[in-house]
Amino acid sequence: MKLLFIFLNQAKGPQGWNGLGLITPKLRIYLSWQPSKVRENKQQTFEVIPYQVLIVTEASRRGWGATLQLNNNEIEFKSCGIWKKSSVLKSSNQRGLTDVLCAICRFEKHLKQEQIHQVHLQMDNTTTSYNINRANSSRTLSHITDTILRTMKQFKIQIKSTHIPGIFNKIADSLSRLNRAGDYNLSGKTASRACKWMKFRPTIDIFESSRNRPTKEYCIIIQDRQAEARNAFSISWAREQPIIHPLIALIGRCPKRVQHERIQALIITPKWQGQYWWPLLQQMTVSSVNQGHADQILKNGTIANKRAWALLLGELLTSLISGRKEEKNEKACQKKQ
């Protein structure tokens, strides 16, 4: 329709509606394609289905954040990312639409598994919400809007968007500004208390979690002569009992490393049940303690405060995990068989 609209404007410009215009090859293909679709006469139902999934999105200059919640499930799935340097997203409207596209692509697996046919979007950007509902936008935003609508059409999902005030969009907003760089520490003697609660004697602090570290040996990213290593994954954990408070991007690697080394470790993670590493963590967990809300336990560093980065969301969980637990379960199953 856009090609036809441009052609009509060019034709009627100098001579009015009696003017002549040259049909381009692209327009000729488009005009031949439209009647063929009409002749096919594929019937489609326009039934309005009540929404099955709620997706809340928020975009900032640093990144994007989104949450997904099913109607029949209390678990909230979280996802976030940082904009690439190559991506040119100058306006908030461009970031808002790209955020929606990223959220749909990231939650594609959940949408297909649950056989979702109706999605309700919530955001605090009125322009983005309006463009999605009317299925159209300006030229600068049309390619993103078209991609969103095309993707949802492929999934056979109806989409509806509503605006919410920014006050009620705290989770997605925090995810878009999430502190991923590790410029935060455990406040006070949280790590030492966790070790006492779990009756665990650590030998090394894999990611230095606080100045009041519970061990003499530690690993830290910055240059430190007294540290064992800057890269914790470059050393062996086989003869250690580590305490681990990993960065968000490294949470998934830590249980796998503990499982590979066949050791016990104390790991401090957010209670994010919708993440890919959560099932493995639960399989390896011997015991766990809920330490409370992360914003009361963690403290941002100076760089994070200057850049207004947000702390982790939800509750922090201290888990005693064992790499030998799965082996015991396998042996028990073999004996039963």
Domains within the chain, CATH numbers bracketed: 2-34 (no CATH), 53-176 (3.30.420.10), 184-332 (3.40.50)
DSSP E strands in 138-275: the ranges are: 158-163, 184-186, 204-205, 217-218, 242-244, 264-270
pLDDT beyond 80 at 89? yes
pLDDT beyond 90 at 321? yes
Query: Tell me: the pLDDT tens digits for 193-229?
Result: 888 888 899 999 888 755 667 788 888 877 888 888 8
C-alpha 46/C-alpha 149 separation (Å) is: 16
C-alpha 14/C-alpha 46 separation (Å) is: 42
Query: Tell me: the pLDDT tens digits for 112-132?
Result: 888 888 999 999 999 999 999
Query: Tell me: the pLDDT tens digits for 284-308?
Result: 999 998 888 887 888 777 777 777 7
Query: Tell me: the pLDDT tens digits for 21-71?
Result: 777 777 777 777 666 666 666 665 556 667 889 999 999 888 899 999 887
CA distances 84 to 249, 259, 304, Å, are 16, 33, 19
Residue closest to 261 by CA, chosen among 241, 244, 278: 241
C-alpha 170/C-alpha 70 separation (Å) is: 19
Query: Tell me: the pLDDT tens digits for 238-280?
Result: 888 999 888 888 888 999 999 999 999 999 888 887 788 888 9
Please spell the DSSP secondary structure of 106-157, one letter per residue.
HTHHHHHHTT--EEEEEES-HHHHHHHHHT---HHHHHHHHHHHHHHHHTT-
